[in-house]
């Protein structure tokens, strides 16, 4: 179902979705057929071959993510766990202090909005918002790769609500 204010166009194996938050387009495999039929987007495959079944599900999910993105948008929250870890944002530049000898500056794409929150006695938060789910996930993965959560002390950059599997240190393993 296409929400109000969102238009979906299919032309030359390219699906373009426009909405209040932005515009996204996705190239489609020529074997898969996409049609807009009275407020619905229909994705059909020529046969039940394994590759066609896989592409059918892939493009259905990608088009759904595009429709949800341009109408509602996506939001991810990341938490910095560790003593002295800080985050600050100025415009499209995110400044991170992650225990290295230098600060790390990341210039974010214009499609991604960033906000850094720091409250007393709480871990700093990075809030990222975008209408492009793939781009948002890529940016989050890049930020997380700077200091992945480690299993011994639990320090690092993690998503809010993510549970880090903890390990006991070497002293607990001695018999």
Inter-helix orientation angle 133-145/50-71, to 10°: 90
According to CATH, what is the number of the domain 74-159? Answer: 3.90.930.12
pLDDT > 90: percent of the chain: 86
Confidence of residue 169 (pLDDT cuts 50, 70, 90): confident
Cα(86)–Cα(102) distance, rounded to whole angstroms? 12
pLDDT for res 1:
81
pTM (2 decimals)? 0.89
pLDDT for res 51:
95
Domain ranges of the chain: 7-71, 74-159
Q: Are 116 and 89 in contact (CB under 8 A)?
A: yes
Q: CATH topology for 7-71?
A: Outer Surface Protein A; domain 3 (3.90.930)
Confidence of residue 55 (pLDDT cuts 50, 70, 90): very high
Strand locations in the chain (E): 7-11, 14-18, 23-27, 33-37, 40-44, 74-81, 86-90, 93-97, 104-107, 113-117, 125-130, 156-159
Cα(175)–Cα(170) distance, rounded to whole angstroms? 11
């Amino acid at each position: 179902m296409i929400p109000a204010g969102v238009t979906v166009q299919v032309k030359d194996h390219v699906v373009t979705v426009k909405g209040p938050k932005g515009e996204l387009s996705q190239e489609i495999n020529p074997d898969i057929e996409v049609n807009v039929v009275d407020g619905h987007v229909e994705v059909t495959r020529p046969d039940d071959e394994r590759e066609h079944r896989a592409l059918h599900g892939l493009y259905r999910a990608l088009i759904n993510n595009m429709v949800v993105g341009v109408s509602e948008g996506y939001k991810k929250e990341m938490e910095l766990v560790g003593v002295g870890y800080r985050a600050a944002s100025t415009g499209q530049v995110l400044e991170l202090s992650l225990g290295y000898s230098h600060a790390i500056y990341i210039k974010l794409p214009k499609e991604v909005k960033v906000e850094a929150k720091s409250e007393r006695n709480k871990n700093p938060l990075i809030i990222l918002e975008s209408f492009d789910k793939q781009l948002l996930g890529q940016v989050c993965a890049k930020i997380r790769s700077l200091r992945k959560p480690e299993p011994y002390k639990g320090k690092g950059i993690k998503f809010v609500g993510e549970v880090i599997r903890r390990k006991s240190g070497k002293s607990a393993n001695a018999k």
